[in-house]
Amino acid sequence: MTGPTNPTYDAHADAYAASLRLSVAPMMDWTDEHCREFHRLLAPGARLYTEMVHAKAVIHGDRARLLAKTPHQSPLALQLGGSEPDALAQAARIAADHGFDEINLNCGCPSDRVQAGRFGACLMREPALVADCVAAMAAASEVPVTVKCRLGVDDDDDYGAFARFVDGAVAAGASMIVVHARNAWLNGLSPKENRDIPPLRYDWAHRLKRERPALPIVLNGGIASQALAFKQLAHVDGVMLGRAAYHDPYLLHTIDAALSGAAPRPRADLLRALRPYVEARMAEGVALKHIVRHVLGLFHGQPGGRLYRQVLSEGAHLPGADWAVVEQALTATEASAARHAA
């Protein structure tokens, strides 16, 4: 028999496929709950990721803070760090109970602290352990388990080993793989250098997809324009943007709008849409500066963009700062842009 036999299932599959097209990478200190709220407004169709949280922090730590989110941040993945199957399974169950839509295992972070804990990128050299971790997480909850990985570590240059790593994770239950398409160098490079210096090899992710057409593959690393995002979408199921989405959040908006067919909204409208959230959180005691630090890039590359950043970042740090500071920044930016245009 050919063709769809279960329309409900197919609609679900289509919605899932659509939700993979664009995502915002997990970024420590950056993709906190406030940042994700802003990104959700900019990109209603994007899949969002938390910062990495260690499995043991989920189990023993302050869950209200570590797992904080709002319902409309969905689809939202919790990224877990760790390499102990039991702890990861327990954390996955807790994440599922908290309503996360995906649980992602970090196999790409190269920091010293992470290496000392034997997780992150060094797991690329332990495919059997990763498979055990994924199997334990998948058995512990109904929520899809995914893996974010590199191509290898240090001077690895073995597509076969990379593909076997992926196949092991998938056989253990991973339903999607995010490929940060470069190696992690565990000696001698800082995490920041590790995001730039090891060369990108998109062709490995393309080949993985060609050889495993049924496996959802999301490509990450260096995607910083709409043109590049769409070029890559011809080869893989989705693109994940990290730094570009953070530093130039309007790019996230324009890509999301292009994917959905919606007309892009003006920057100021998008920012003002955040006001109810900002005021609600401030009423709970959150300082303005903790939220608006994530919106400083909104006018990136625009006339008045530097002034916007300056007025907002300086004003948000003043005692008693409230939404009026955001309006001041917008007014200053509009005036500067008008002078520029005149």
Q: Residue 200 — φ and ψ, nearest 5°?
A: -75, 140
**Is residue 202 a contact residue for ligand FMN (CB under 6 A)?**
no
Catalytic site residue 133?
no
What are the residues facing 80 on neighbouring strands? Answer: 53, 105
Residue 29's SS3 state is coil
Distance CA 42, CA 23 (A): 12
Site for ligand FMN (CB under 6 A): how many residues? 23
| Torsion sign across C-alpha atoms 40, 44, 46, 47 | positive
**Is residue 243 a contact residue for ligand FMN (CB under 6 A)?**
yes
Binds ligand FMN (CB under 6 A): choice among 85, 110, 222, 238: 222
> What token pair was written down for 74?
């969905």
Question: Is position 183 annotated in a ligand binding site?
Answer: no
Binds ligand FMN (CB under 6 A): choice among 39, 69, 93, 195: 195
**Is residue 52 a contact residue for ligand FMN (CB under 6 A)?**
yes
Q: How many CB atoms lie within 10 A of CB 21?
A: 20
Binds ligand FMN (CB under 6 A): choice among 221, 238, 304, 315: 221
**Is residue 242 a contact residue for ligand FMN (CB under 6 A)?**
yes
CB of 315 to ligand FMN, least distance (A): 24
> What token pair was written down for 44?
């209603």
Q: H helices then E strands: how many in the chain?
A: 17, 8
Distance CA 134, CA 145 (A): 7
Question: Is position 305 annotated in a ligand binding site?
Answer: no
3-state helix, strand, coil in the chain (%, to 5): 55, 15, 35
- Encoded amino acid at 292, one letter: V
CB of 189 to ligand FMN, least distance (A): 13
CB of 266 to ligand FMN, least distance (A): 25
179 and 208 Cβ atoms separated by less than 8 Å: yes
Residue with smallest beta-carbon separation from ligand FMN: 242
Check residue 23 and report its DSSP letter.
E
Q: Could you tell me which stretch among 9-17, 136-144, 242-250, 291-299 binds ligand FMN (CB under 6 A)?
A: 242-250
**Is residue 185 a contact residue for ligand FMN (CB under 6 A)?**
no
Check residue 274 and report its DSSP letter.
T
CB of 167 to ligand FMN, least distance (A): 21
Given 35, 109, 122, 133, which residue is catalytic? 109
Binds ligand FMN (CB under 6 A): choice among 220, 232, 333, 336: 220
**Binders of ligand FMN in range 81-140 (CB under 6 A):** 106, 108-109
CB of 77 to ligand FMN, least distance (A): 11
> What token pair was written down for 299?
């006018």
What are the residues facing 102 on neighbouring strands? Answer: 77
**Is residue 277 a contact residue for ligand FMN (CB under 6 A)?**
no
149 and 166 Cβ atoms separated by less than 8 Å: yes
Write out the binding residues: 26-28, 79, 148, 180, 220-222, 242-243
Binding interface with ligand FMN (CB under 6 A): 25-30, 51-52, 79, 106, 108-109, 148, 180, 195, 220-223, 241-244
User: Annotated catalytic sites, by residue?
Assistant: 109
